[in-house]
Chains A and B, each alone.
Chain A
């Protein structure tokens, strides 16, 4: 937990924040609307003797008291997918429509990819990219179980993503849910912070900047890019957005989020960011009893 002490100046009620970080997270499933309605999936889970509580802010999410979302009929039919509550945020912010061209830049293991496909009603082009072949195999098994037919999967570094296999046309919408230091997943993985170092944070921030840049370059004028992480570090959040605002023709836009959140921070350890970063949202574990998360929505101008 020592690694978190650097956030004391930016987190209100820091003690409540710390104690939330020490509590385990409930298991959450998302209903896969490609294969079942919410009502049928809910009925299937109840028939299987599984208790469930709806998640207020998202009609497709349920909390389960047991930690085994894989051993029941609804799972085997591909009606449900285990997914952390906050991990369902970025696809709702990107809000892709059926028929659009969408890129999931760092897609494995595919929770958000399959959620994007469901929001697209499995229609339109959804390109899912990851640099790690092993993690792509997990993504593939998720897209298959969930019955996704509109996904095209590429194994490449998102920083060098090629539009060539897809006719060279830019995307309408891109999700950039980057690899990060994962501080916000501490409730799920208590070991997350054991190997924390500032060097790792700044190193991964360089990768994040390059991926976000490529995402903006491959999106059409007027298109949308959503940037998200599961970490608190401003180096990986507002500083990455600040870099993109300077390097590329884009702006941050306001958006609705039916969860308690705090605005992006405009200043961190003496560094000032573009005031637009305030439009990003920080989700802290003690506010909604979830993992930690960061999300921002960009409009591409050029």
Chain B
């Protein structure tokens, strides 16, 4: 087994059989996560490649290059897989979350604003606990905002600090 090298991007192995870094998830497992957890059609990611830089930081890239590659960024940060429960990034949910069919919690405008501001809130939810895709209605349709962690009757906003916004009662 090889070691994970933190500054370079390594393409994820397609399957377990091709894996040479022990902790590295496979492409198959990443796609299965989106299919199983959120009901996303696996064809969504058909032409994308997945990469790891740093332990458990997974990126999605629309093209392919030779692996490994030592550059600043490759596509978009997509997931964190270091912990037991895998977590999609805000960016990934905003980009691909409109294809989800389950584990979606829909908020009214006021709750959505609190979520975007980074607040945790008590909410009813009779589905699975864990990471959910948080949506609201805007401009005639539903739109994903980001990721919430639902535990013990509470939706905890996972919006990163730099993307939190307060609109001041707009």
Contacts and interface: CB of A to CB of B under 8 A. Distances in A.
Contacts of B72: 136, 140, 153-155
Contact of A165 (B71, B143, B165): B71
A77 B94 contact: yes
Interface of A: 34-36, 40-41, 43-44, 47-49, 70-78, 122-125, 136, 140-141, 143-145, 147-155, 165-167
A43 B70 contact: no
A74 B167 CA distance: 12
A43 B139 contact: yes
B94 A167 contact: no
A144 B91 contact: yes
A150 B143 contact: no
B1 interface: no
A141 B167 CA distance: 20
Given A140-B73, A143-B76, A149 B60 contact: yes
Contacts, number: 99
A202 B47 CA distance: 46
Contact of B65 (A71, A124, A143, A165): A165
Nearest to B165: A76
B74 A152 contact: yes
A90 to B, nearest CB: 22
26 contacts: A40-B140, A43-B140, A48-B170, A49-B170, A71-B168, A72-B167, A74-B138, A76-B116, A76-B165, A77-B143, A77-B145, A136-B72, A143-B76, A147-B76, A147-B94, A148-B75, A149-B60, A149-B62, A150-B75, A151-B75, A152-B61, A152-B65, A152-B73, A153-B73, A153-B74, A166-B65
Given A44-B138, A76-B145, A143 B116 contact: no
B84 interface: no
Contacts of A78: 94
A149 B95 contact: yes
Interface in B51-103: 60-63, 65-66, 69-77, 91, 94-95
B145 A151 contact: no
A114 to B, nearest CB: 12
Contacts of B70: 165
Contact of A145 (B47, B141, B145, B163): B163
B113 to A, nearest CB: 9
Interface of B: 47-48, 60-63, 65-66, 69-77, 91, 94-95, 116, 138-141, 143, 145, 162-163, 165, 167-168, 170
B165 A147 contact: no
Given A76-B165, A124-B63, A149-B61, 15 more contacts: A34-B95, A35-B95, A43-B139, A43-B140, A44-B139, A70-B165, A76-B163, A136-B72, A144-B76, A149-B60, A150-B62, A151-B75, A152-B69, A154-B72, A165-B71
Contacts of A125: 63, 65
A150 B61 CA distance: 6
Most B CB contacts (10 A, CB to CB) among A49, A76, A125, A140 go to: A76
Given A76-B145, A77-B145, A152-B61, A167 B66 contact: yes
B76 A71 contact: no
B145 to A, nearest CB: 7
Contact of A144 (B62, B65, B77, B168): B77
Contacts of B139: 36, 40-41, 43-44, 47, 74
Nearest to A150: B62
A35 B77 CA distance: 16
A77 B138 contact: yes
A48 B169 CA distance: 11
Nearest to A47: B139
A103 to B, nearest CB: 13
A145 B162 CA distance: 11
A147 B66 CA distance: 23
A49 B170 CA distance: 8
Contacts of B73: 140, 143, 151-153
A151 B72 CA distance: 11
Contacts of A72: 167, 170
Contacts of B76: 143-144, 147-149
A141 B94 CA distance: 14
